[in-house]
Amino acid sequence: MEKKYTRLLLKLLGAALGVLAGWVFLRWGLSWILPFLIALLLAALLEKPVLLLRARLRAPRWAASALCVLGLYGILSVIAYLLVSRLVAEVKQLPEWIAGMPDLVNERLQTLINAAPSNMRAFLNNSLGRIVNEGITIPESVFTTLGGWVAAAAGALPNLVLFVVTCILSTYFISSDYPRVKDFLLRQIPEGWRDRVSKTKGHVKITMSKYLRAQGILIALTFVQLCAGMILLGIPYPLTVAAVVGLVDALPVLGLGIVLLPWALISLLMGQTGQALGLTILFAVCSLTRSFAEPKLVGEQIGLPPVVAMLAMYVGFKTFGVLGMIVFPILAITLKQLQEWGYIKIFN
């Protein structure tokens, strides 16, 4: 009996040490090797195009790799340029809009006060004065915050440039020598584990594709809801607007709230109460639908019960943010599959 408890304690200690080592690696060690991991992943994705170019053009491997790497990063650079230029164009209009907000708020509130009963107007005017005085400091606070963001971005620029250059060069070097790099990595795995690692790798690839399929379904569902909402609210160009808002929702961290809630507030200040209410309801409906559908869809696609998928996404988000929401469900299904294959034994 004592041996049984001793083995159990050793297993728990080993699991705790493994979790601690994984957390330390993800917290600190991952940032050191992240550009090389990205380069390795991109080189693996480029391997088929490289082989195709070598076969069609009879080009040496270094030339085929160079063409593929330049093409990939060229496409990514164009996308990044379009996004950043659009963002800069929108941000340029922000100071003028923010500076005019106190006057706009004052005008709208004064209209509401004038419509109030006469015995309440004195009280409301005094309250309005306090609101306006507080509102005057809002643009200054916003500009201070934006200035801090700009300074932080400027300070991070050298590290970003180093990261990007390291990714580009590493992708080319790994791609140009990919067979040897792959053989080297395989040799570092104990021979008895190579089949297991290969089998697990194939399973992770399938799981990733299913996860992306689930996210695609969620994006399509959100787009349909947004499109219907825009049409009902009479928003011009509903398909285009729904596509843009849906794209923002698909981006990590941002979500629908960063577009719909400020839009609803602006509509309310402009006196468009119905549109403001409609946008708020649309945000609530889309958010609730995604909250209910995401665990079920992700769980069904990757083979986890909805509650387990929700637990994995929640713990992943609390631990490592958006990246954790992606990695933890995949890690959970991988552990489940390893248990079913008999490679590990965590649960009875």
- Average pLDDT over the chain, rounded to an integer: 75
- pLDDT band at residue 6 under the 50/70/90 scheme: confident
Which of the residue ranges 115-124, 167-176, 228-237, 271-280 would you say has the lowest mean pLDDT? 115-124
Measured CA to CA, the distance from residue 164 to residue 136 in angstroms comes to 41
Q: How many CB atoms lie within 10 A of CB 146?
A: 14
Q: Are residues 225 and 301 in contact, defined by beta-carbon separation less than 8 angstroms?
A: no
Confidence class for position 329, pLDDT limits 50, 70, 90: confident
Gap between the Cα atoms of 48 and 53, Å rounded: 9
Query: Is the model's pLDDT at 319 over the cut of 90?
Result: no
| pLDDT value of position 121 | 60
- Report the alpha-carbon distance of residue 301 to residue 215 in Å, rounded: 10
**Using CA atoms, how far apart are residues 323 and 266, in angstroms rounded to an integer?**
32
Whole-number Å distance between alpha carbons of 194 and 60: 30
pLDDT of residue 69: 92
Q: Is the pLDDT of residue 264 over 80?
A: yes
With 0-12 CB in 10 A as exposed, 13-18 as middle and 19+ as buried, what is 221? middle
pLDDT on residue 68: 92
Which is nearest to 40 in space by CA: 163, 164, 165, 182?
182
- Residue-level length of the chain: 348
For residue 250, pLDDT over 70 is answered with no
112 or 162, greater pLDDT: 162
Q: Which helix (H) or strand (E) holds 184?
A: helix 178-187
- The 10s digit of each residue's pLDDT in 11-65 is 667 667 767 776 776 667 677 888 888 888 899 889 899 999 888 888 888 898 9
What's this model's pTM, rounded to 2 decimal places?
0.57
Nearest residue to 42 (alpha-carbon basis) of 160, 173, 195, 197: 173
Q: Identify residue 320 by its one-letter amino acid code.
A: F
Strands (E), 45-138: none
DSSP at 29: I
Task: Map out the domains of the chain as residue ranges.
Answer: 28-187, 194-348
pLDDT at 193 exceeding the cut of 60:
yes
Q: How many CB atoms lie within 10 A of CB 43?
A: 24
Residue carrying the six token digits 């909250």: 291
Tell me the percentage of the chain whose pLDDT exceeds 70. Answer: 63
**CA separation for the pair 65, 49 (Å, rounded):** 9
Could you report the per-residue pLDDT of 64-85, keeping only the tens digit for each?
Answer: 899 999 999 999 889 888 877 7
Tokens of 132: 């306006």
Query: What pLDDT is recorded for position 132?
Result: 54
- What average pLDDT score do residues 138-146 get? 55
